[in-house]
Structure 1
Amino acid sequence: MGDAIRNDSSAPQCITIAELQAEHYENGFGIFHATPRLSWRFAATSIQNWKQCAYEVVIERHGRTECYRVASRQSSFVPWPSSPLSSRDVAQVRVCAIGSEGINSNWASLSIETALLHRDDWTAKLIGGPPQDIDAPKCPFRLRQTFQYSGGASPARLYATAHGLYEVEINGQRVGEHVLAPGWQSYKHYLHYQTYDVTALLRSGQNSIGVYLGEGWFAGRLGRPGIRNLWGSQLGFLGQLEADGKVICQTGPGWEVLPGGPVVNSEMYNGEEYDSHQHDPKWSTNEYTSTNSTEAVVLPFPAAKLIAPEAPPVRRLMEVPPRATLTTPSGKTVLDFGQNLAGWIRINDDIPGTGTVTIRHAEVLEHGELGTRPLRTAKAETIIHLGGSTRGYEPRFTFYGFRYAEVTGYDAVGLSDFTAIVISSDLRPTGTFECSHDLINQLHRNTVWSMRGNFVSVPTDCPQRDERLGWSGDLQVFTPTASFLYDTSAFVGSWLRDLAAEQKDLNGIVPTVIPSVPMPPRDNERQPMAAWGDAAILTPWDIYQFSGDQSILQRQWNSMVQWLENGIPRDERGFYAEDTPQFGDWLDPRSPPALPGHTPTDPYLVANAYLVHVTEMAATIGECLGETELAQKYADDAHRLRRLFREEYIAPSGRIASDTQTAYVLALHMDLLDGPREINTARTRLDWLIRWEAFKINTGFVGTPHILPALAKVDMMTIAYRMLQEKDDPSWLYPVTMGATTIWERWNSMLPDGSINPGQMTSFNHYALGSVCHFLHAHVAGLSSAAPGWTSALVRPRPGGTIRSAKATHDSPVGPYSVSWVIEARVMKTNVTIPPNGEAHVILPGVNIVVGSGEYTYETEWHSDPEWPPQIIQGAQGKPVEAEFVP
């Protein structure tokens, strides 16, 4: 046993490029690069050990054909071989990969079209309506213009953005699939714009264009208790419509502002109010005649840099019908959609009557009633005034986090009347996981749903309450999991660009939320937090490991330096100054509900452990980028800080000052211990602390992501699996047993009696604790990256607990890797698939080999774990006690 069983060599022998890509764009349309790098992913193949030795690129542009052949194994981010593209340029690109054994790939093609690359390409003016009360919600309004089009052979393009949120219609037809456009960004520094192909919407002769504007993130209330107008108080739209090589319509003088409109109010936190009386489907057509319109106001051109983002837009991803209609103890009617999600509810048909229907949203029921207390000040409701058509109505400029919806004002509620619309940034799915343990499978599904519900333009903490902010600590701990599940490179890259811009304004301090939203009375913008601010260094590195794109390190390098040199408040030794607050191991389960930062682990131990870790990481990144002088400086700093950390917190025996799970986990994960004696002490203490707590979690925000990988690192897989499979509170599976369909913010956001946790910070859709899925991918299934961009993978499944099979896939920048294993009797059968141009280091009992592309099967001996299940330690004598384990 232990040898690979080769697959049938008679299988089709072909190499296929599955997708050709320019930079990180989902397609080649509307890109913002003059010299876009090219990347291609391969489809799975049975051909073994295929390597690319060269590639050919053919570019057709301006009536010329250019051919290039390059001897290189590189298939990701290869340099643009031609001269730079100009604004609005179109190029047809084809790529073929040449194999060293004479087997070549197919020709993959991509049509590239650049957007407006320069500020002076814009001739349109930013326009808006009359000024509104800066202290009140901004009433959505509509803009309109007619224009002539003579028709032509060339395609038509609309370039559009807004201060606020916008939707565009041309001749009564909605433009594009985007929702909540242009998305959320640091509007002071960047303003994203979108490019739309509107050729099919135009007609010869007179045409009409209509724009609906809402306040969105730009001017709406954000944070707690809430600040309005963070980036401006006047909504505006910028649009430029081009065809046949000229501008045929653009925003500026002469546009009209229409009176009224069906969307009476729309706020991110409070929801939307809709008056069906005022709905006129002809408002953006030539048939519409306005009588009380006013002329649009020309506003100053946006000061921010206009860019066409690489990240996919927010779109409607799926529809979820309600599963049941419930009647609460107080007699209310509630729809149960069966899944906690982010989005809104569509009304499928006309609701009769002339009254008002109110839909209130919440994630859970508490004792049978809608559980709205966790929403805090967010009303999260949709108000619909009847009397006109409601068929197909759905909110435009807001979204909700919910599973349940309470409907009042409509007595004949039926399941077919309403549909939940799931929205998210439309990232490419890349990773899957499944195993023989149903509750763990649900835990993984919950993580995917929480990521989906929180990756809405920026990575937020939650989608439901009066927050929904881009907390840096949440993303820092979750990036490895997120990047296995989806291609996050452009999405997180955009957020990191905002981080660097906001940080520069604060002289190196990284705000805890990006885009930065002040939250009085705490000046969170100027309070540097370890682990949160460290996203400036750790998150670009994680993205680089998954994408292989070194440019993200280069772009963020100055941000990293500024954080280490200016952002971190230090004492005379270089440690974190103890007169500045720290979140520490936030939300340790032993923290009081009202004091989530009051944890048993010294917050400055946490901060200084992270400081050593990120300083070492900066040295590694500096070496990677050729920044040798700073790399050496940070290597020396890390060595000195590590010595100081050991003097301050670690006894000669290896005992740590804070005798907690998190303290030992960070020391092991960040290599702060020296020699076998100290590591063995840490293993022994961590083992004891976990058993003493009966395998329940006693780590918070910074300890939890690392505890199972740390146990795996020091060969404590039995303990790791026992913690993973624990079901009592606090544990990963406790929420699953309580019916959770997303990851909770607190281990016990819902108490066993069905009451909501009394803490004012209680969310039922918070992805951070889903970072445990990195352990599922890398250790349970056994699939992880061994080199940046997955040019090499590590296949090392480590079965344990009661799990007898698992499988995972990851569609990497090279192509799809997959691992599946099953244990039957005393044999473990493992199947491995490696993409063309990739390789994997396979480690199994009796197997330690590096293999190239192809499909492989291994059969190895498996022996049950004699220590399973491990016993808890309780009682005055601290002795192991017998306790039944129910898997």
Structure 2
Amino acid sequence: MRITNCKVNHLTAPLGYWMEKPVFSWQVEEAEGKAQTKARLVVRQGGETVADTGFAQLDSLAEPVEMELAPRTRYTWTVTVCTDAGEEAVSDENWFETGKENEGWNAKWIGDSQARHPMYSKRIAPAKPVKSARLYICGLGLYEAYYVPGKDAAAAGSIETLRAEAKIGEELLTPYCNNYNEWVQYQTYDVTEKLKEEGNLCVLLGNGWYFGRFGFNDPDGRPYYGKGRKLLAELRLTYEDGTEEAIGTDESWQVDYSNIFFSNIYDGEQMDDTLEPVAAAAAQAVEPPKGALTARRSLPVKALQELPAAELIHTPAGETVVDLGQNIAGSFRLRIHEPKGTKIHVQVGEVLQQGNFYRDNLRSAKAEYIYISDGQEHVLQPYFTFYGYRYAKVEGVTDLKPEDFTGLAMYSDLPRNGWLETGNEMVNRLVLNTEWGQKGNFVDVPTDCPQRDERMGWTGDAEVFSPTACYQMDSYAFFAKYLYDMATEQKTRDGAVPDVIPSFGHKGIACAWGDAACVIPWVVYRFYGDKSILEGQFDSMKGWVDHIYGLEQNDQGWRKHFHYGDWLALDGPGGIDGVMGATENAFIALVYLRYSAQLTAKAAAVLGKAEEERYYSELADKMLKEIRHEYFAPSGRCCLDTQTALLLSLRHGLTVDREQTAKRLQKKFDDNDGKLQTGFVGTPILGEELTKAGLNELAYGLLFNEEYPGWLYEVKLGATTIWERWNSMLEDGSVSSTGMNSFNHYSYGSIVEWMYAYVAGIRQAEDSIGFRHVCISPVVDARLGHVDARYQSAMGLWKTSWKAVDDNHLEFRVTVPFGCQADVALPYAPESLYRDKENAIFAHVEDGVCRLEAGSYSVTYETTAPLRRIYSTAAPLKELLGVPAIRSFLTEKIPQIGQVPDHMKSSSIRELAAHFAGHLEAGTLEVLDEALAKLG
């Protein structure tokens, strides 16, 4: 028995994070027992016990401990767990360390606003042997800190050498992106080992989000938040004799200027190593930033993967282009050795066009790197920007070799917790594309895209993708920071949630986008089982609902407001560059108003707020009556005839006749040749609602569709991330639009949530939090061959797998983690199978469901129906033509099949043959049936 994954506030060994109260969590592995019976948490500081729960019914998902936290203090803790098998185990010793809490700073803000980026430095000479040292620091817009032992300032070397030999920590783009008008965050670094000898503490500042152009507000690109760069740092030395020394930024620090003379997030970075050095001068004190200074909430952003060049391309246009083979967000390293004065120019793009470099979809973002050589050999790596790219055009480098260029994928350091593999390589690539989409758009903020002049925290994208994000990566702390930022924006907007967080002054609000304030906290609570997220966001949830309901009460103002609606759906006006879907925006607005009211009521119930629960429940009921009055006929028929409207009717229980609505939904797809027309609102719920409506064949048909529009269409065209539009690229490989077209936009990757929950079957029960109780009923389709899934939930590791041994035999495996319960319904299982008491999977069966405790189980059985769809000439022609292999076969064997008009494709080949060709030769249809049965 082992106790693992011990965390505080969902972080492993957090150093200097914001921590109002510690919440502890842990998992148990390799136990004989099935569940925890009691546990004990002990927290110590310096050998003294400061909190002890005693053995009690503690919650391994989230156990808060009331204790007064001292500033700059390391605490250790252990948890002891007892199981129902009589086992007892103690965890390893874990730790967390507080930041400065509410303690004052022995430091001043210093700064500047020159073009050349400043390097601040201070000579550090410890007075005695150092026991421990911490650096507390915030540099705006961005900073990197270095400690150079034993050298004076002039001998510290170039910033390239500093970064390679003396950088403090591995983080990039600190102190990250947030609503700087309300809060700025500092980081804490353990620099004990570096401070064993005297040296120079140096801090390089860049522009970043704070002091560089960013957002939509100023056409001249002036920064929204900052009027200059600023630095605050405090070095705390604790000597072995117990005394302390604090060394903070002030006018005694020196400033000189680097050779970086331009940087911002959109346009990249420029550096000139032929510039004359600037004499060091005394630092100048400046006014603090507007926002309050707090301990960090952001997870570290690091260069977490290195990608060697997959290919060096010499294009028809004569360009030298590096292909990483993968679209990423991040940076690069480039080795060069060119004569003094040579200009090295790197530009990046996501796709090629006619074999040539292309970047027009980046709009105004220059996304470049310029370096002027001093004649020496260098390994170049930008400091204060990042790019979204797969291809890099390199100019100015003589005889560039593939090994000279390395891509650096940068993203927030979220532990991976989901793995999903099938027997279909294109589907596997789709899952991988979704993972890369999350990495590329989880650069501190859940952005829409990482490449063009946007890269903003669009709420709608984050809302629809949040369940998929939590399946793939441990996203609690990441979303907690984003939601905190959201709440700070609402405080000055009467509860309104701007479309992007941080807003950078953007004032627009819209349904489904702003509803992220209610949806994401509830998703995070369900996935991780920690009500702290609801406690922290409850005022935000109420504020949003109250704001939009107030607008609605004023002459139906909310439904009349501008909304993005079913953004980028294919059933609206506008042609290839259209953005607005056909589903009425007012309907979507009311549906989401009701949904957010429901979630706020649920959160109130969890938090024991009975009055608020009653109020928001009644508001939700009121909105349901209004929706039905306005958009549903007395028969229960939805008056809006779009795929998305019908999906929303099923999802939110708006219809009183689910069967009729499901039939209408099936017909909407039939009328569109089985293809989707949904956008940002309809697509995320598509797979689940089709499955729940019994339309699994349709759901899988959409998944496997390799034609436009569909997920495998872009995979077939070489996508390595998820596209913004269903037609971001046309069949001939040309880009469809440059006005708004990203090749790394994760929203449509939300189909992967359905794959974990329904295809693999790891679906949390409605009454569960933290995946304690999971309903496992995989939706099997033999075209996948097999599915293997692992999900490291907040409770532990769930595993499911199924394999189509042949057309009539299925192999199924499941692992239930410690402390959890699974309700398993085996697909296509004969009733007699459940009476096999020799197999542990059938030890406890109720109503055809196997009730499983912790453990591993497996069974192989003969199914009651074929696992593979058997096609024949009796099937509708449009269904046959939807299967690529069958379409190719029929086109070859019956060329005139392409002349059948669309309105007759609902008929079968047999019906068409009888109508148009009379009786075919004896046996012809039977031969076709035999061939079709093999092609399904």
Normalising to structure 1: TM-score of the pair?
0.91
Which residue is equivalent to 2:8?
22
Which residue is equivalent to 1:107?
91
AA partner of residue 323 (structure 1) = A
Supply the distance in 2 between the matched residues of 1:265 and 1:326 (Cα, whole angstroms): 29
Matches within 5 A, 1:510-525: 510-518=497-505, 524-525=506-507
Which residue is equivalent to 2:600?
618
| Cα shift at 1:584 | 0.8
Which residue is equivalent to 2:741?
762
| Cα shift at 1:595 | 5.6
Supply the distance in 1 between the matched residues of 2:360 and 2:278 (Cα, whole angstroms): 45
Matches within 5 A, 1:55-134: 55-65=39-49, 68-80=53-65, 83-118=67-102, 120-129=103-112, 131-132=113-114
Out of 532, 545, 565, the position equivalent to 2:546 is 565
- Deviations along 1:710-737, one digit per CA (max 9) or x if unpaired, are 0011111111111111111111111000
- Deviations along 1:126-178, one digit per CA (max 9) or x if unpaired, are 1102x45xxxxx54221111122134242110011122100011115110111
Q: Do the aligned partners of residues 223 and 593 (structure 1) sit closer, same or farther apart at CA in structure 2, a change above 3 Å counting? A: farther
Supply the distance in 1 between the matched residues of 2:716 and 2:473 (Cα, whole angstroms): 27
Which residue is equivalent to 1:722?
701
Point out the more displaced range, 229-238 or 53-62: 53-62
8 Å contact from structure 1 (residues 553, 621) kept in 2: yes
Which residue is equivalent to 1:657?
639
**Structure with the higher fraction of residues in helix conformation:** 2
Point out the more displaced range, 439-448 or 299-308: 299-308
8 Å contact from structure 2 (residues 82, 89) kept in 1: yes
AA partner of residue 493 (structure 2) = L
Point out the more displaced range, 445-454 or 146-155: 146-155
Matches within 5 A, 1:602-681: 602-674=584-656, 678-681=657-660
Secondary structure of 2:470 counterpart: helix
Which residue is equivalent to 2:757?
778
Point out the more displaced range, 588-597 or 474-483: 588-597
Q: Would you say 1:463 and 2:444 are equivalent positions?
A: no
Q: Would you say 1:445 and 2:428 are equivalent positions?
A: no
8 Å contact from structure 2 (residues 331, 387) kept in 1: yes
AA partner of residue 38 (structure 2) = A
Supply the distance in 2 between the matched residues of 1:369 and 1:801 (Cα, whole angstroms): 40
8 Å contact from structure 1 (residues 499, 510) kept in 2: yes
Which residue is equivalent to 1:521?
none
Supply the distance in 1 between the matched residues of 2:595 and 2:20 (Cα, whole angstroms): 37
Which residue is equivalent to 2:171?
178
Which residue is equivalent to 1:7?
none
Out of 139, 143, 150, the position equivalent to 1:162 is 139
8 Å contact from structure 1 (residues 51, 73) kept in 2: no
AA partner of residue 292 (structure 2) = K
| Cα shift at 1:559 | 1.1
Which protein shows a greater Rg?
2
Secondary structure of 2:650 counterpart: helix
8 Å contact from structure 1 (residues 25, 31) kept in 2: no
8 Å contact from structure 2 (residues 549, 593) kept in 1: no
| Cα shift at 1:55 | 1.2
8 Å contact from structure 2 (residues 2, 31) kept in 1: no
Supply the distance in 2 between the matched residues of 1:313 and 1:338 (Cα, whole angstroms): 26
8 Å contact from structure 2 (residues 179, 503) kept in 1: yes
Q: Would you say 1:42 and 2:25 are equivalent positions?
A: no
| Cα shift at 1:27 | 1.7
Which sections of structure 2, spanning at least 5 residues, go unmatched? 149-161, 835-847, 880-900, 910-927
Out of 494, 516, 520, the position equivalent to 1:535 is 516
Point out the more displaced range, 641-650 or 242-251: 242-251
Point out the more displaced range, 152-161 or 464-473: 152-161
Which residue is equivalent to 1:135?
none
Out of 192, 207, 212, the position equivalent to 1:215 is 207
Which residue is equivalent to 1:11?
none
Which sections of structure 1, spanning at least 5 residues, go unmatched? 1-14, 133-137, 280-289, 519-523
Secondary structure of 1:788 counterpart: coil
8 Å contact from structure 1 (residues 219, 234) kept in 2: yes
Secondary structure of 1:348 counterpart: strand
Identity in percent: 33
Q: Give the superposed CA RMSD.
A: 2.2
8 Å contact from structure 2 (residues 225, 504) kept in 1: no
| Cα shift at 1:755 | 1.1
Out of 714, 724, 734, the position equivalent to 1:735 is 714
Matches within 5 A, 1:845-856: 845=829, 846=834, 847-856=848-857
Supply the distance in 2 between the matched residues of 1:596 and 1:405 (Cα, whole angstroms): 30
Which residue is equivalent to 1:5?
none
AA partner of residue 480 (structure 1) = P
Q: Do the aligned partners of residues 186 and 880 (structure 1) sit closer, same or farther apart at CA in structure 2, a change above 3 Å counting? A: farther
Supply the distance in 1 between the matched residues of 2:220 and 2:736 (Cα, whole angstroms): 23
8 Å contact from structure 2 (residues 265, 384) kept in 1: yes
Point out the more displaced range, 683-692 or 763-772: 683-692
Which residue is equivalent to 1:239?
233
- Deviations along 1:513-534, one digit per CA (max 9) or x if unpaired, are 000024xxxxx51x33110010
8 Å contact from structure 1 (residues 721, 801) kept in 2: no
Secondary structure of 1:733 counterpart: helix
- Deviations along 1:305-355, one digit per CA (max 9) or x if unpaired, are 333234421011010011111112211111111000011110135345541
Out of 402, 409, 434, the position equivalent to 1:422 is 409
Q: How many residues align?
A: 842
Supply the distance in 2 between the matched residues of 1:548 and 1:631 (Cα, whole angstroms): 19
Q: Do the aligned partners of residues 291 and 345 (structure 1) sit closer, same or farther apart at CA in structure 2, a change above 3 Å counting? A: closer
Secondary structure of 1:17 counterpart: strand
Out of 177, 181, 200, the position equivalent to 2:193 is 200
8 Å contact from structure 2 (residues 340, 375) kept in 1: no
Supply the distance in 2 between the matched residues of 1:562 and 1:595 (Cα, whole angstroms): 35
Secondary structure of 1:239 counterpart: strand
Which residue is equivalent to 1:875?
902
Which residue is equivalent to 1:265?
262
Q: Do the aligned partners of residues 580 and 866 (structure 1) sit closer, same or farther apart at CA in structure 2, a change above 3 Å counting? A: same
Q: Would you say 1:332 and 2:311 are equivalent positions?
A: no
Out of 866, 891, 902, the position equivalent to 1:864 is 866
Secondary structure of 1:32 counterpart: coil
Out of 408, 418, 437, the position equivalent to 1:431 is 418
Q: Do the aligned partners of residues 291 and 341 (structure 1) sit closer, same or farther apart at CA in structure 2, a change above 3 Å counting? A: closer
Supply the distance in 1 between the matched residues of 2:131 and 2:548 (Cα, whole angstroms): 52
- Deviations along 1:377-412, one digit per CA (max 9) or x if unpaired, are 001111111124453320000000000011111231
| Cα shift at 1:202 | 1.8
Out of 488, 501, 526, the position equivalent to 1:501 is 488
- Deviations along 1:405-439, one digit per CA (max 9) or x if unpaired, are 11111231110111001100010111111111111
Out of 140, 150, 174, the position equivalent to 2:117 is 140
AA partner of residue 659 (structure 1) = D
AA partner of residue 62 (structure 1) = G
Q: Do the aligned partners of residues 557 and 658 (structure 1) sit closer, same or farther apart at CA in structure 2, a change above 3 Å counting? A: same
Q: Do the aligned partners of residues 500 and 65 (structure 1) sit closer, same or farther apart at CA in structure 2, a change above 3 Å counting? A: closer
Q: Do the aligned partners of residues 166 and 594 (structure 1) sit closer, same or farther apart at CA in structure 2, a change above 3 Å counting? A: farther
| Cα shift at 1:18 | 1.7
AA partner of residue 810 (structure 2) = M
Matches within 5 A, 1:469-484: 469-484=456-471
Supply the distance in 2 between the matched residues of 1:718 and 1:585 (Cα, whole angstroms): 24
- Deviations along 1:786-818, one digit per CA (max 9) or x if unpaired, are 311122222221102612210211111211111
Supply the distance in 1 between the matched residues of 2:340 and 2:575 (Cα, whole angstroms): 46
Supply the distance in 2 between the matched residues of 1:164 and 1:593 (Cα, whole angstroms): 41
Which structure has more relative contact order (CA 8 Å, sep 6+)? It is 1
Supply the distance in 2 between the matched residues of 1:34 and 1:655 (Cα, whole angstroms): 50
Supply the distance in 2 between the matched residues of 1:327 and 1:539 (Cα, whole angstroms): 46
8 Å contact from structure 1 (residues 718, 868) kept in 2: no
Supply the distance in 2 between the matched residues of 1:706 and 1:386 (Cα, whole angstroms): 53
| Cα shift at 1:227 | 4.3
Supply the distance in 2 between the matched residues of 1:61 and 1:154 (Cα, whole angstroms): 16
8 Å contact from structure 1 (residues 510, 567) kept in 2: no
